[in-house]
Copies of this chain bind each other. A is one copy, B any other.
Amino acid sequence: MPEDLRNRVDRQPTVAGLSEADLLARIFPRLRMEAGHTTSTLLGPGDDAAIVAAPDGKTVISIDTQVQDQDFRLLWPNGYRTTGFDVGWKAAAQNLSDINAMGAHATSMVVSLTLPVDTPVSWVENLADGLTAGIRTLGADRCSVAGGDLGRGTEISVTVAVLGTLDGGRPVLRSGARPGDVLALAGTAGHAAAGLALLEADVPVDTLTPAERVFVDLQCRPRPPLSAGPAARAAGATAMLDVSDGLLRDGQRMAAASNVAVVIDPDRLAHLSELLAPAAARLGADSTQWLLGGGEDHGLLATFPGDVQLPPGFTAIGSIHALGTDEGPGVLTAGRAADTGGWDHFAH
């Protein structure tokens, strides 16, 4: 691969010139958190394994991989070049979001990088910077990178395993939604999809409006609302999940796990939809499709008992209903059963 990269970075040093130890020595200093950043890492990089505090005797754990040309393109049709910084940030954000969706705080990450030998060293350094910046900027202030692994491959692949703590609380699962609950969203929806459409469109990157640039930035460097997860748990959320594949598809997952009907009221999403309208008009796209079908904003979809005041950051967007006779769990929007096909890694 790095065809795209190679054209751009001729004469830049590549990882082929470095030993694994040399490359790690370039990366580790960039993963250090600033003074005052709380650390849960009891033993950091350099041994066979790291050690992370789990003060309440439980560790929340998730894993996620980003692969070049599947999860990101190095060079997009509109001319935007994905930076190592973007990839590092996105790897951090996606994984932090999974911990957030349990109502937990992230405590640590371990990172496994697979790199083609012609990957520029600077690209890898930028990736480390992006990981660190994502953790800091998104407010995962108890998290740092505790260790990792490096290896060769023919395509860039970044896997992060993230650990978290519930601080003695109970996790908020997908399966707890009950008839009568309010359905609420924290964060945005459809904005990363708009960004993806702009990246893939015949719209040169330097002609993007500031509003369009926000969508592209959100696709490349997602901003999951990390304070919302633990706040939802504290407020008594009955069910919650990360909206990574779109409101319809993730709503369907909640419906299936909880054996309920999830009803989304599109009028309640108007505040998000209005922002999408100009970009949709420019591309001749359907902003409702972005709003309901688009993933990767990494907002939180949660349910709360009807008498609970929604925590800051959440907006009511619908409600949970009991299933009728012969009715399967599903999502209804604008009074109709929704097609919840959405994104799938293999069958598309």
What is the total number of copies of this protein in its complex?
Answer: 2
Between A42, A51, A104, A166, the greatest number of chain B beta carbons within 10 A of the residue's beta carbon is seen for A51
Taking CB atoms and an 8 Å cut-off, the chain A residues in 57-100 that contact chain B are: 57-65, 67, 69-71, 97-99
Q: Does residue A101 face the partner (Cβ distance < 8 Å to B)? A: yes
Taking CB atoms and an 8 Å cut-off, the chain A residues in 31-48 that contact chain B are: 42-43, 46-48
Q: Does residue A163 face the partner (Cβ distance < 8 Å to B)? A: yes
Residue numbers in B under 8 Å from A43 (CB-CB): 171, 173
A99 to B147, CA, bound (A): 13
- 1/0 per residue A1-38: CB within 8 Å of B? 00000000000000111111111000000000000000
Q: Does residue A219 face the partner (Cβ distance < 8 Å to B)? A: no
Closest to A14 in B: B346
Known contacts A54-B57, A54-B58; A112 and B64 CB within 8 A of each other: yes
Q: Does residue A143 face the partner (Cβ distance < 8 Å to B)? A: no
- 1/0 per residue A289-302: CB within 8 Å of B? 00000000000000
Residue numbers in B under 8 Å from A153 (CB-CB): 67, 70, 155, 157
Q: Does residue A273 face the partner (Cβ distance < 8 Å to B)? A: no
Known contacts A50-B60, A101-B49, A347-B17; A155 and B152 CB within 8 A of each other: no
A59 touches B163 (CB 8 A): yes
Q: Does residue A193 face the partner (Cβ distance < 8 Å to B)? A: no
Q: Does residue A174 face the partner (Cβ distance < 8 Å to B)? A: yes
Residue numbers in B under 8 Å from A154 (CB-CB): 69, 154-155
B346 touches A16 (CB 8 A): yes
Q: Does residue A282 face the partner (Cβ distance < 8 Å to B)? A: no
Question: How far apart are A329's CB and chain B's nearest CB, in angstroms?
Answer: 14
Q: Does residue A275 face the partner (Cβ distance < 8 Å to B)? A: no
A345 touches B164 (CB 8 A): no
Question: How far apart are A335's CB and chain B's nearest CB, in angstroms?
Answer: 27
Q: Does residue A318 face the partner (Cβ distance < 8 Å to B)? A: no
Closest to A101 in B: B48
A49 to B64, CA, bound (A): 10
Q: Does residue A263 face the partner (Cβ distance < 8 Å to B)? A: no
Residue numbers in B under 8 Å from A202 (CB-CB): none
Q: Does residue A161 face the partner (Cβ distance < 8 Å to B)? A: yes
A61 touches B50 (CB 8 A): yes
A57 touches B60 (CB 8 A): no
Question: How far apart are A30's CB and chain B's nearest CB, in angstroms?
Answer: 18
Taking CB atoms and an 8 Å cut-off, the chain A residues in 151-206 that contact chain B are: 151-155, 157, 159, 161-164, 166, 171, 173-175
Q: Does residue A328 face the partner (Cβ distance < 8 Å to B)? A: no
Q: Does residue A55 face the partner (Cβ distance < 8 Å to B)? A: yes
Q: Does residue A344 face the partner (Cβ distance < 8 Å to B)? A: yes
Question: How far apart are A250's CB and chain B's nearest CB, in angstroms?
Answer: 10
Given A49-B99, A49-B104, A52-B58, 9 other A-B residues pairs in contact with their CB atoms under 8 A: A43-B173, A49-B101, A50-B60, A52-B61, A65-B114, A67-B114, A67-B152, A70-B152, A114-B157
Q: Which 5 A-B pairs have the closest CB atoms?
A: A161-B161, A54-B54, A49-B62, A48-B101, A159-B159
